[in-house]
Amino acid sequence: MHDATYTDDTPTHSLKFHGDGDTLFWLYLKTNLLTLLTLGVYASWGTVALRNYFLSNTTFAGHRLVYAGTGRELFVGSLKLLGIYIVLAVITAVLRATLGPIGMLVARVLLYVVLFALTPFALYSARRYRLSRTSLAGTRFSFRGSLGECYRVFMPGALVTGMTLGLYYPVWHTRMRAYWLRNTYYGSEPFAYDGEGVDLFGPFFISWLLLIPTLGLSRIRYKAAEMRHDAASASFAGHRFKSTVTGWEMFVIALRMLLFSLITLGLAYPWLLVRAVKYYTSRLALIGEIDIVEIGGGVSIRGGDTGGATGDTLAAALDIDMDFGIGLQP
C-alpha cells in the first residue's frame, strides 16, 4: 500500500461526537435501576443501549456509526459465561475440600492461569463480535484474524513483558496493534498498521523510570505518545490517521473527572464522560479526501455467529478494553 502525499491544504475527516450529558444521565439512571430491579438480567440490554448511544452519536465523513448488537445476544453470552464460573467454582470447592490449605493455594493459582489463558479468547471474540455489529454508511466492519494467531502474538508478548518488568511492552503493544488492525475490514477494504515498538521505547522508558516518583502520572504522558503513534502508524484506503492528543490535556481531563465525580458523588460523571469523549474523537482524523460510501459499497458482512457474545461478555467481566486500535471503541 502506498500512502497519499499530503500538503497543508489536504482535507481531513475528523470523528465527531454529538452526545450530551443530559441524555446519558437518564440512560445511566434507567440502566442501573432496571438492572437492580431485574437482579442483573437487564444488564445485557443496558450495555447495548449504551453502545447504541455512543456509536449513533459518533459521525465520520458525515455518516453516523450504527450498532446492531442485541441484548438477547449478550444475555445468552452471559449465561454461557455463568456456566464457566460454575465449573470453576466447583473445581475450587473440590480442591479446598480434599487438599485443605494447599488446595486453596492450588485453586487460586489455577484461577489465575485459566483467566490468563482466556484473555486472548475474550479479546478476539469481543472484537469479532462488536465489529460485526458495527456499520457506517450501510457497510459493516468485520474482523478476519484467526484465534490461533491471537494466541501466538498475545501469550509470548505477555510473558516476556512480565519477565522484563514491563520493558518489552512497546514491542508487544505494536505487534498486537498490527494483528488487530491488519485483520480489521470495512466492507472489503482492510486497515493497515506499520508501527514499530522501537519508536515507542524512548517515551515508555522515561515513563517507566518516573512511574514511582510521579505516582503513576508519567503513564498519562506515555499514553498520549502511544495514541499519536498508533494513529500515525494506521492507515485506511491509502490514507493515514492522525491524533493530536497531548499528555497535559489527558491529565486535565482525568483530574477533572476524578474531582467532580467525587464532589458530586458521581452524579456529574455522564457530563464529564461526554466532554472526554468529544475531546478524544475530535483529536482523531483521517488525512485526505475519501468517499466512504464508494469504498464500502454497502457490503454487509455479519462476521460469525452470536457465539462471540460470550467472549464479549467475558472481556467486560475481565475489564478488558477493546477498540479499533486507533482510539475508537465500538
pLDDT at 5: 54
Question: Is residue 11 over pLDDT 90?
Answer: no
Question: Is residue 320 over pLDDT 80?
Answer: no
Question: Is residue 224 over pLDDT 60?
Answer: yes
- CA dist 8 and 243 (Å) reads 16
Q: Which pLDDT band, with edges at 50, 70 and 90, does 154 fall under?
A: very high
Q: Who wins on pLDDT, 88 or 265? A: 265
- CA dist 191 and 144 (Å) reads 11
CA 221 to chain centre: 19
Answer for the pair 295, 137: CB distance below 8 angstroms, yes or no.
no
> The pTM is what?
0.88
Average pLDDT over residues 247-256: 96
Q: Which pLDDT band, with edges at 50, 70 and 90, does 306 fall under?
A: very low
Answer for the pair 234, 252: CB distance below 8 angstroms, yes or no.
no
- Best mean pLDDT range from 101-110, 258-267, 304-313: 258-267
- CA dist 319 and 330 (Å) reads 15
Q: Which pLDDT band, with edges at 50, 70 and 90, does 239 fall under?
A: very high
Lowest mean per-residue pLDDT among 124-128, 221-225, 323-327: 323-327
Max alpha carbon distance in the chain (Å)? 73
- CA dist 305 and 129 (Å) reads 8
- What amino acid occupies position 83? G
What single DSSP character describes residue 298?
Answer: T
Nearest to 311 by CA among 303, 323, 301, 320: 320
HSE, side-chain direction, 13 A CA sphere, residue 206: 10
Question: Is residue 106 over pLDDT 90?
Answer: no
| Tens digit of each residue's pLDDT (9 = 90 or more) over 36-70 | 999 999 999 999 999 999 999 999 988 999 999 99
Q: Look up residue 20 and give its three cell numbers.
A: 450530551
Three-class secondary structure assignment of 81-148: HHHHHHHHHHHHHHHHHHHCHHHHHHHHHHHHHHHHHHHHHHHHHHHHHHHHCEEECCEEEEECCCHH
Question: Is residue 1 over pLDDT 50?
Answer: no
- CA dist 43 and 34 (Å) reads 8
pLDDT at 305: 47
Q: In which element (H, E) is residue 17 found? A: strand 16-17
Answer for the pair 159, 318: CB distance below 8 angstroms, yes or no.
no
Phi/psi at 284 (nearest 5 deg)? -115, 130
Average pLDDT over residues 153-161: 97
Report the percentage of the chain scoring pLDDT > 70. 87
Average pLDDT, the chain: 88
Answer for the pair 19, 53: CB distance below 8 angstroms, yes or no.
yes
CB-CB neighbours of 259 under 10 Å: 12
